[in-house]
């Protein structure tokens, strides 16, 4: 098999040829003369990093068979030195991530809004690289932590790279970049013992939050199911900050960026998330990889909320405040283009790990607002790459290279790849025709929008920034009942893990400002009560000399809004494409029924996976064996969207297996669709699942389909339930009384 070792990599849009210097590695492995050394083709021969073919990679060079190793062994030293240096610092936040290549295309020209070429030309397909991530955990932590997810998109446009470095939640914890190190120190594992990994449920996080009222809106999102997505492919994305779009006439408008997944917005439940973390900590990474490998390409629509310059102050909140969102009911999201992820990386480290996103990578037609969080980020991203990627030339790493030509007078530095000929590396110059030359605006030069700015130098925020609760309340009150229940349970869990009682009490006071019922039901699980007239909770995010009055809580001028768009449940569930169904089969199983079910699922893009008592061949009722890729020991229902127990000669045996009982019990508890036929129904009974027609005392469950045979009716009921994602009405019985 030919080995690929190109620095340009087939896996990236090719950079312009004048900058694509070939590596030593390429030259070293391509020589024809190597072919004569072995039977293997020349480009498969083992060499040193300098191209020398290696004769013995099994033994180090020694002075005699039993003698000491020799310093002369340059191959041993090169190999081990390289190995010793394989690690680079992980990202200080968003360390755990997964990436994919794809393309973006705008539906129709947005030239009235922006001059950005990739947004004005529907014929143009722009290559992209996307990296999804969690925030708090280390590089090897679980995908299913309760956390914000990063959603970073690098567009390789003809006018340079544009990075939209967003999250799966539209607001953020803090209003000003100066608080970011504090926030991250609080949420990361505690510094004395480095516990807990990838979790916000600990004292330092909640201590910080409990004295930072501005975090309350984001905390509502973090405690909601948005923080435990079913899949990266089923998350919304948000640019968070207000940006600007600028058209060719120089007209600027404010814009919020959104990504809307075509598979719908879905989450798992917390018990399920914790189990997935044990059973398959790579769940989201695997899910993204497999969907792309199977050609079921994840897609999102790019959405824009556009606000005219004249409407800058039309809202009760400030567009520059990243703890506030613009309700879609006030400014609808226009869907303007489509992102398709269609290629997995060839090498995780070279591409996903070395990808360097920067909010400051913009193209003409896109500009910044004065959001103080955004402004701080403009500094942070290049700075962090200097340490993480080791120097100023990280833009030359293939995944980071622009496809637009790069010409400038920047030179040298650690690991410089580009070889620029000539004497002149300064401008202006006369020896080099004054090139590289500056581009006029009409020739595509980036011109910053000339926003008038005037003011005293102050360390202050606008008054509306001090409304900390209105949008937190809007978010909570816009959730459906099951979503509110999940949010309450998440707060009970997280605050229940906090040891410091003052922190718990302070949080209850904050919750009482958001919604009294919410506060009461959380307080109950903490053994606390909400005071009849809850006192104003503390706010320690005030400067030493600030007037206390200036920093008091303000109430937004906007009327209370319930925004349906904030509820995942209020949204269209999307197709069942790529949903995974576990089918439990034992010897003598109903092969025709299982085939009919698989066919019905495949017709809608979903897939059935056979789970046997063991992996490998399981006999069907007609005597034909099929290979089960999973056994009841190697997988778990938390890794599937729905479960079927097939009829068969040995199907009743499942009911005696504790692992099988757990399998279906979890699926039922997590509100998933279930089906069972014939003797398979016994397993549902063993797990105390109400199989309709079998238990007269309980009403039929809309997401449990049973029948003697795998009839069309059973299949239809099951597929419909799968399409509804989860049957949340099963849940109330599972809750503590509120
Ligand atoms: Fe980041 N953030 N961030 N962030 N961020 C980083 O950059 C930072 C913020 C986001 O897949 C770091 O290359 C500061 C908001 C994503 O590679 C670092 C502030 C949003 C990713 C950094 C913020 C984000 C990062 C760490 C407050 C959503 C992962 C490694 C002013 C809109 C990108 C790196 C990837 C990564 C700093 C706040 C999103 C340290 C100082 C708000 C998706 O530069």
The pLDDT confidence band at residue 546, using thresholds 50, 70 and 90, is confident
Give mean pLDDT, residues 456-461. Answer: 95
User: Given the DSSP bridges, would you call strands 580-584 and 607-612 parallel, antiparallel or unpaired?
Assistant: parallel
Å from CA of 381 to ligand 1 middle: 7
8-state DSSP, 670: T
Place 690 in a pLDDT band, splitting at 50, 70 and 90. Answer: confident
Measured in Å, residue 375 CA sits from the centre of ligand 1 at 12
Pocket test for ligand 1, best of 94, 153, 285, 383 (most atoms within 8 A of CB): 94
Which ranges of 447-566 does DSSP label H, i.e. alpha helix? 470-477, 481-496, 501-514, 516-525
Alpha helices in 45-160 (DSSP H): 74-84
- 165 in contact with ligand 1, CB cutoff 6 A: yes
CA distance 497 to 397: 43
Provide φ and ψ at 366, rounded to 5°. Answer: -125, 135
| pLDDT, position 37 | 57
8 A C-beta contact, residue 280 and residue 286: yes
Measured CA to CA in angstroms, residue 115 lies from 119, 239, 301, 510 at distances of 7, 19, 20, 45
**Contact between 449 and 367 (Cβ < 8 Å):** yes
Q: Which long-range contacts (CB under 8 A, 24 or more apart) does 48-55 make?
A: 48/74, 48/75, 48/78, 49/24, 49/25, 49/78, 49/82, 50/24, 51/24, 51/25, 51/27
| Among protein residues, the one whose CA lies closest to atom 7 of ligand 1 | 381
What is the Å distance from ligand 1's center to 511 Cα?
Answer: 28
Does the beta carbon of 97 sit less than 6 angstroms from any atom of ligand 1? yes
Is ligand 1 within 6 A of the CB of residue 361?
A: no
> What atom of ligand 1 comes closest to residue 377's alpha carbon?
31
Residue 619 has pLDDT above 90, yes or no: yes
The phi, psi pair for 349, rounded to 5°, reads -65, -50
603 C-alpha to ligand 1 centroid (Å) = 41
Give, for ligand 1, the residue of 128, 137, 165, 172 to mutate: max count of ligand atoms closer than 8 Å to Cβ: 165
* Per-residue confidence (pLDDT) for residue 731, from 0 to 100: 87
Q: Is the CB of 179 under 6 A from ligand 1?
A: no
Q: Which atom of ligand 1 is nearest to the CA of 374?
A: 31
Residue 601 CB partners (closer than 8 Å, separation 6+): 576, 579, 581, 607, 608, 719
Under a CB-based contact definition with an 8 Å cutoff, are residues 556 and 471 in contact? yes
In this structure, the dihedral spanned by the alpha carbons of residues 730, 515, 490 and 472, taken in order and rounded to 10 degrees, is: 110
- Distance between CA atoms of 46 and 30, rounded to whole angstroms? 12
Task: Using the predicted structure, report yes or no on whether residue 465 has a pLDDT greater than 50.
Answer: yes
Residue 483 reports pLDDT greater than 80: yes
Pocket lining: 372 vs ligand 1, CB cutoff 6 Å: no
- pLDDT band per the 50, 70, 90 thresholds, residue 19: very low
Which residue is closest in CA terms to ligand 1's atom 29? 94
Q: In the predicted model, what is the mean pLDDT of residues 182-192?
A: 98
**412: which 2 tokens?**
């040298």
What is the arithmetic mean of pLDDT over 182-197?
98
Q: Is ligand 1 within 6 A of the CB of residue 150?
A: yes
Mutate to test the pocket of ligand 1, among 90, 92, 93, 325 (most ligand atoms within 8 A of CB): 93
pLDDT at 627: 98
DSSP bridge partners of 334: 304
Q: Does ligand 1 lie within 6 Å of residue 240's CB atom?
A: yes
Q: What HEC string does 61-91 produce? A: CECCCCCCECCCCHHHHHHHHHHHCCCCCCC
Which amino acids are annotated catalytic? 94, 167
How far does the centroid of ligand 1 lie from the alpha carbon of residue 478, in Å? 28
Q: Is 140 helix (H, G, I), strand (E, B) or coil?
A: coil
State the Cα torsion 136-142-143-148 to the nearest 10°: -20
Domain 74-401 has CATH 2.40.180.10: yes
- Ligand 1 mutation pick, 88, 89, 91, max ligand atoms within 8 A of CB: 91
* pLDDT 10s digits, 322-361: 999 999 999 999 999 999 999 999 999 999 999 999 999 9
pLDDT at 2 over 80: no
Check if 380 has its Cβ closer than 6 Å to any atom of ligand 1. Answer: yes
Question: Ligand 1 centroid to 157 CA: how many Å?
Answer: 22
Q: Which atom of ligand 1 is nearest to the CA of 376?
A: 31
Q: What is the pLDDT of residue 415?
A: 95
Query: What are residue 154's DSSP bridge partners?
Result: 129, 163
| Sequence-ordered strand ranges (E) for 593-646 | 607-612, 616-619, 625-628, 630-631, 642-645
| Atom from ligand 1 closest to the CA of residue 355 | 17
User: What percent of the chain is predicted at pLDDT more than 90?
Assistant: 87
Instruction: Please state, in angstroms and rounded to a whole number, the distance separating the CA atoms of residues 677 and 590.
Output: 9
Strands 673-677 and 704-707: parallel
Q: What is the pLDDT of residue 533?
A: 77
* CA-91 nearest atom, ligand 1: 30
Task: Please report where in the chains the tokens 């489509």 appear, as a residue.
Answer: 338
Tell me, in angstroms, the distance from the centre of ligand 1 to residue 336's CA. Answer: 25
Mean pLDDT of the region 263-276: 98
Return the axis-axis angle of helices 372-388 and 180-187, rounded to nearest 10°.
60
How far does the centroid of ligand 1 lie from the alpha carbon of residue 92, in Å?
9
Q: Please state, in angstroms and as integers, the Cα–Cα distance from residue 247 to each residue in 107, 287, 336, 375, 638, following that order.
A: 17, 39, 16, 22, 48
- 98, 285 contact by CB (below 8 A): yes
Q: Which CATH number fits domain 465-569: 3.40.1160.10, 1.10.10.10, 3.60.20.10, 1.20.1370.20?
A: 1.20.1370.20
Beta-bridge partners for 254 = 244, 307
Does ligand 1 lie within 6 Å of residue 133's CB atom? yes
CB-ligand 1 contact for 381 (6 Å cutoff):
yes
| Cα–ligand 1 centroid distance for 93 (angstroms) | 7
CA dist 632 and 648 (Å) reads: 17
Strand partners, 163: 154
The mean pLDDT of 612-616, rounded to a whole number, is 98
Return mean pLDDT, the chain: 92
Q: Is 166 in the pocket of ligand 1 (CB under 6 A)?
A: yes
Q: What is the pLDDT of residues 202-220, one digit of tens each?
A: 999 999 999 999 999 999 9
Closest atom of ligand 1 relative to the 133 alpha carbon: 11
pLDDT at position 431, please?
98
Which tens digits make up the pLDDT trace of 647-664?
999 999 999 999 999 999
| 728 in contact with ligand 1, CB cutoff 6 A | no
Tell me the two tokens of residue 346: 């060839």
167 lines ligand 1 (CB under 6 A): yes
Query: Is the pLDDT reported for residue 27 higher than 60?
Result: no
Specify whether the CB–CB gap between 622 and 648 falls below 8 A: no
Mean pLDDT of 465-486: 95
Task: Assess whether pLDDT exceeds 60 at residue 28.
Answer: no
The response to whether residue 613 sits with its C-beta less than 6 Å from ligand 1 reads: no
Q: Which residue has the higher pLDDT, 713 or 559?
A: 713
Q: Name the token pair of 465.
A: 């920034």
Q: What angle do CA 94, 96, 98 make, to 5 degrees?
A: 105
Which residue lies with its CA nearest to atom 9 of ligand 1?
377
Cβ 172 under 6 angstroms from ligand 1: yes
| Cis peptide bond upstream of 680, omega within 30 | no
CA angle 543–173–466, rounded 5-degree value:
50
Q: Order across the sheet with 704-707: list the strands.
A: 630-631, 607-612, 580-584, 642-645, 673-677, 704-707
Residue 418, pLDDT above cutoff 90 = yes
- Taking domain 573-730, whether its CATH number is 3.40.50.880 is answered by yes
Query: What pTM does this model have?
Result: 0.94
> Ligand 1: which atom is nearest the Cα of residue 172?
42
| CB atoms closer than 10 angstroms to residue 474 | 22
Preceding omega of 622 cis (within 30 degrees of 0): no
CA of 711 to the centre of ligand 1 (A): 52
pLDDT band at 39 (very low <50, low <70, confident <90, very high): confident
- Residue 221 near residue 273, CB atoms below 8 Å: no
Any ligand 1 atom below 6 A from CB of 182: no
User: Ligand 1: distance of its center to the CA of 135 in Å?
Assistant: 9
384 C-alpha to center of ligand 1: Å?
Answer: 10
**CA within 13 Å, CB half, 455:** 8
User: Angle at CA 279, nearest 5°, toward 277 and 281?
Assistant: 45
Cβ density class 278-298: b for 16+ within 10 Å, e for less: ebbbebbbebbbebbeeeebb
Please state the atom number of ligand 1 nearest to the C-alpha of residue 381. 44
Contact 88, 389 (CB under 8 A): yes
Q: What's the CA gap between 149 and 284, in Å, rounded?
A: 11
Is the pLDDT reported for residue 572 higher than 90? no
What is the CA(374)–ligand 1 centre distance, in A? 10
Mutate to test the pocket of ligand 1, among 137, 150, 372 (most ligand atoms within 8 A of CB): 150
From the number of C-beta atoms within 10 Å of its C-beta (0-12, 13-18, 19+), residue 702 rates as middle
DSSP 8-class letter at 239 = -
Ligand 1 atom with minimal separation from the 131 CA: 11
DSSP per-residue string spanning 288-339: HHHHHHTT---EEEEEEEEEEGGGTT-SSS-TT-TT----TTTSPPEEEEEE
The pair of structure tokens assigned to 34 is 């190597």
Distance, CA of 655 to chain centre = 38
The number of beta carbons lying within 10 Å of the beta carbon of residue 669 is: 17
Query: By the 8 A CB rule, do 302 and 336 touch?
Result: yes
Residue 21 has pLDDT above 80, yes or no: no
Rounded to the nearest angstrom, the distance between the alpha carbon of 720 and the centre of ligand 1 is 40
**Quick one: pLDDT at residue 169?**
98
Any idea where the domains of the chain sit in the sequence?
A: 74-401, 465-569, 573-730
Checking if the pLDDT of 289 tops 50, the result is yes
Strand partners, 47: 53
SS3 658: helix
Ligand 1 lined by 152 (C-beta under 6 Å): yes
Whether residue 384 has its Cβ less than 6 Å from ligand 1: yes
CA distance 163 to 147: 22
Confidence (pLDDT) at 38? 66
* Residue 94 CA, closest ligand 1 atom number: 29
């Amino acid at each position: 098999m030919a080995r690929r070792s190109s620095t340009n990599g087939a896996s990236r849009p090719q950079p312009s040829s004048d900058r694509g210097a070939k590596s030593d590695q390429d030259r070293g492995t391509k020589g024809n003369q190597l072919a004569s050394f072995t039977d293997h083709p020349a480009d498969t021969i083992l060499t040193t990093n300098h191209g020398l073919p290696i004769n013995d990679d099994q033994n180090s060079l020694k002075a005699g068979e039993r003698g000491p190793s020799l310093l002369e062994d340059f191959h041993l030293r090169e190999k081990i030195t390289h190995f010793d240096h394989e690690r680079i610092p992980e990202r200080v936040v968003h360390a755990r991530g997964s990436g994919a290549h794809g393309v973006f295309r705008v539906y129709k020209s947005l030239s009235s809004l922006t001059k950005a070429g990739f947004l004005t030309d529907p014929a143009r397909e722009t290559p992209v690289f996307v990296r999804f991530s969690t925030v708090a955990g280390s590089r090897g932590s679980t995908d299913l932590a309760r956390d914000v997810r990063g959603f970073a998109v690098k567009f390789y446009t003809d006018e340079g790279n544009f990075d939209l470095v967003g999250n799966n939640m539209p607001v953020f914890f803090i209003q000003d970049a100066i608080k970011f190190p504090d926030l991250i120190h609080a949420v990361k594992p505690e510094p004395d013992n480095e516990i807990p990994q990838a979790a916000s449920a600990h004292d330092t996080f909640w201590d910080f939050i409990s004295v930072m009222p501005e975090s309350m809106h984001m905390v509502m999102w973090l405690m909601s199911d948005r923080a435990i997505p079913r899949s990266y492919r089923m998350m919304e994305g948000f640019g968070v900050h207000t940006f600007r779009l600028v058209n060719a006439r120089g007209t600027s408008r404010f814009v919020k960026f959104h990504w809307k997944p075509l598979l719908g917005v879905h989450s798992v439940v917390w018990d399920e998330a914790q189990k997935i973390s044990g059973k398959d900590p790579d769940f989201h990474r695997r899910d993204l990889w497999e969907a792309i490998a199977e050609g079921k390409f994840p897609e999102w629509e790019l959405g824009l909320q556009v606000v005219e310059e004249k409407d800058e102050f039309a809202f009760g909140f400030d567009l520059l405040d990243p703890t506030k969102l613009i309700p879609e009911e006030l400014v609808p999201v226009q869907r303007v283009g489509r992102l398709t992820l269609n290629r997995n990386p060839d090498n995780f480290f070279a591409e996903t790990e070395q990808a360097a996103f920067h909010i400051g990578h913009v193209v003409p037609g896109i500009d910044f607002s004065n959001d103080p969080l955004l402004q701080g980020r403009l500094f942070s991203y290049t700075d962090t790459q200097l340490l993480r990627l080791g120097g100023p030339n990280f833009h030359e790493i293939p995944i980071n290279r622009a496809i637009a030509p790069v010409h400038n007078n920047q030179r040298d530095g650690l690991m410089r790849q580009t070889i620029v000929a000539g004497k002149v590396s300064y401008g202006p110059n006369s020896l080099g025709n004054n090139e590289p030359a500056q581009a006029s605006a009409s020739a595509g030069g980036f011109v910053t929008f000339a926003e008038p700015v005037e003011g005293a130098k102050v360390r202050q925020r606008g008054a509306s920034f001090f409304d900390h609760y209105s949008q937190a309340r809007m978010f909570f009150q816009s959730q459906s009942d099951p979503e509110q229940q999940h949010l309450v349970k998440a707060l009970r869990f997280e605050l229940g893990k906090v040891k410091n009682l003052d922190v718990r009490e302070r949080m209850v006071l904050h919750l009482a400002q958001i919604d009294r019922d919410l506060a009461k039901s959380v307080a109950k699980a903490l053994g606390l009560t909400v005071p009849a007239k809850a006192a104003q909770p503390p706010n320690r995010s005030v400067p030493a000399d600030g007037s206390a009055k200036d920093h008091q809580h303000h109430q937004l001028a906007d009327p209370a809004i319930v925004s349906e768009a904030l509820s995942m449940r209020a949204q269209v569930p999307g197709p069942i494409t790529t949903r995974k169904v576990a089918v439990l089969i034992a010897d003598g199983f109903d092969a025709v029924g299982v085939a009919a079910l698989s066919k019905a699922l495949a017709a809608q893009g979903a897939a059935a996976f056979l789970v046997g008592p063991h992996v490998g061949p399981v006999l069907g009722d007609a005597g034909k064996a099929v290979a089960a890729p999973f056994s009841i020991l190697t997988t778990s229902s938390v890794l599937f969207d729905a479960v079927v127990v097939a009829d068969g000669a040995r199907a009743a045996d499942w009911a005696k297996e504790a692992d099988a009982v757990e399998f279906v019990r979890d699926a039922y508890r997590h509100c998933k669709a279930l089906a069972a036929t014939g003797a398979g129904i016994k397993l549902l009974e063993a797990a105390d699942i109400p199989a309709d027609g079998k238990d007269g005392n309980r009403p039929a469950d809309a997401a449990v389909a049973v029948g003697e045979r795998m009839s069309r009716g059973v299949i239809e009921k099951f597929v419909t339930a799968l399409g509804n994602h989860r049957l949340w009405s099963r849940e109330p019985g599972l809750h503590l009384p509120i």
